[in-house]
Structure 1
Amino acid sequence: MRQLLWWLIGGSRGGKNRLRIVRALQRRPMNTNQLSNELELNYKTVQHHLEVLEENDVVTTRGDNYGKMYFLTDALTENLDILEEIAEQADIDIDDA
């Protein structure tokens, strides 16, 4: 999981937005539109990052189409300490994320 999170969060241009999405989903499950509004990001940008996170078992979904809700996976929830460590080491400002 550590290598995966480094690649997804610490080692890519989209890492900060992915971290922001994960942080938002820690607070509560949301759909793409809710995340887009909450994070003030373009809908397509959020959709792209959610697809990447889902493909890599960081988020999971329930429902379909516009009602599809995103949740953190158990795998990520069990490794939130690693996520914190990577965010700090990658110098991603968590308060801004």
Structure 2
Amino acid sequence: MERVLWYLLAGARGGPNRCRILRALRERPRNANRLAEDLDLDYTTVRHHLDLLVEHDLVEDAGDGYGTVYLLADRVDEDWATVEDVIERVN
């Protein structure tokens, strides 16, 4: 998992926004629209980052369509210390 985190959070331009999304989802699950509002990001930007995080099994989605709620995958939640370590090193 650490390798995937480094790739998604440090190895790409969108890393800082993905860090913010992961931290927000750690607080509580949300849909893409709520994340966009809470993080003051464009909805399509948030959807792009969520799609990548889901594709790499860091985030899971529940529900369908516009109301889909996103939450941290169990493995991310269980190993949050590693996620924070990578985020701190990136920032």
Bin for the TM-score computed over the shorter chain:
over 0.9
What whole-Å deviation, never above 9, does each CA across 1:8-66 have from its counterpart, x for those lacking one? 11221111000100111011110010000000000000000000000000100111001
The aligned length equals 91
Residue 78 (structure 2) aligns with: 78
CA root-mean-square deviation: 0.8
Q: TM-score, normalised by structure 2?
A: 0.96
Query: Hey, which of these two has a bigger chunk of helix by percent?
Result: 2
Runs of 4+ that moved beyond 4 A: none
Q: TM-score, normalised by structure 1?
A: 0.90
Unaligned runs of at least 5 residues, structure 2: none
Percent identical residues: 46
Moved more, 79-88 or 23-32: 79-88
Residue 5 (structure 2) aligns with: 5
Residue 41 (structure 2) aligns with: 41
After TM superposition, list the pairs within 5 Å mapping 1:34-73 onto structure 2: 34-73=34-73
Unaligned runs of at least 5 residues, structure 1: 93-97
